[in-house]
Amino acid sequence: MPEFKILIVEDDRSIQNLISTALKINQYSFLNVYNGKEAISTCMSHKPDLLLLDLGLPDIDGIEVIRTVRTWSNVPIIVISARDEDSDKIEALDSGADDYLTKPFSVQEMLARIRTVQRRQQYLPSPEQEKSVFENGKLKIDYASGTAELDGAELHLTPIEYKILCLLSRNVGKVLTHSFIISNIWGNAVDTDIVSLRVYMTSLRKKLKCSEEEEPLIRTRVGIGYQMIRL
C-alpha cells in the first residue's frame, strides 16, 4: 500500500505537537507547516494525500488556503478550527473543505475521520491512473481536448452542457443530486438554479439521444437528480 502523507497546517505549537504525536503513534507520514503560504507551496511541491487545516493562520485566512488549493487540486481537506459558528463551517465546506472538526477536539475522532478519507481514496483513481478519454456506448469524451462525440460525430455542446456531461461521466452509475450538480457547475446551490439545470439537461439529453429504441444515457431521478447509465 502506498504511503499516506498528511500535511498539518497549524500555527499553535501545542496543538501541532498533539496532532503530530497522534499521527506518529498511528504510523502516518506527515509534514508540519505554520502558515497559509507555506501550506499552499508545500501542497504543490509534496502533493500530500490529506490536509489538516487550521483557519486562524498568521498570514492568510485558512478559507483562502482552501480556495487557492481547490483551483488545482482535489486533495481532501479536514478543517480543525476553534471557530464553532455554523456560518464558519458552511463557508469552509462551501469553499471546498471535506470535513470540519471544532477545537477542542477528540484525537480519536480525528483519526476516525482520517480513516474515512483513506477508505474513500481507495475507490478513486489517482491523477496518473485517470484516463483522459471516457467511452460509454456510442459516447466518447476526450477530457484533454475538451470535445465529445456521439457515434463518431462531434457533439456541439455549450460550455455548461459540456461541464455537466463531464461531471456525470466522471461519476457514471451514481445518482447525482440537483444541489451537487449545481454546486459543482455554478459554485452554489439555490432553488432557483434547479430550473436552469433542468433547461440545460433537457437540451443535453436531446443531443445525446440516438434513437427511440436505445437506452438513454442520462436518467432523471424524480425529485433527486440525474444519473449517467453505464452501457
Q: Verify that 89 and 164 share a domain, yes or no.
A: no
Q: Verify that 30 and 109 share a domain, yes or no.
A: yes
Assess contact for 218 and 169: CB atoms under 8 A.
no
**Total residue count of the chain as it appears in this document:** 231
Query: Does residue 12 lie in a domain region?
Result: yes
Query: Does residue 220 lie in a domain region?
Result: yes
Q: What share of the chain is helix, strand, coil (3-state, %, to 5)?
A: 40, 20, 40
Q: Verify that 179 and 107 share a domain, yes or no.
A: no
Domain count, the chain: 2
Q: Verify that 158 and 208 share a domain, yes or no.
A: yes
pTM exceeds cut of 0.75: no
For residue 18, the model assigns a pLDDT of 96
CATH of the domain at 35: 3.40.50.2300
pLDDT along the chain (231 residues), means of 10: 86 96 96 95 92 96 91 88 89 87 93 87 52 88 87 89 90 85 70 79 87 74 89 84
Q: Verify that 104 and 146 share a domain, yes or no.
A: no
Query: Does residue 127 lie in a domain region?
Result: no
Domain extent for 215: 133-228
Q: Verify that 103 and 180 share a domain, yes or no.
A: no
For residue 2, the model assigns a pLDDT of 61
CATH of the domain at 222: 1.10.10.10
Q: Verify that 184 and 76 share a domain, yes or no.
A: no
Q: Verify that 65 and 91 share a domain, yes or no.
A: yes
Q: Verify that 22 and 113 share a domain, yes or no.
A: yes
Q: Verify that 150 and 57 share a domain, yes or no.
A: no
Tell me how many degrees the CA angle 105-46-19 measures, rounded to the nearest 5.
20
Assess contact for 223 and 207: CB atoms under 8 A.
no
Q: Which residues pair with 137 in a beta bridge?
A: none
Distance CA 178, CA 155 (A): 24
Q: Verify that 207 and 117 share a domain, yes or no.
A: no
Residue 45 CA to its chain's centroid (Å): 20
For residue 126, the model assigns a pLDDT of 47
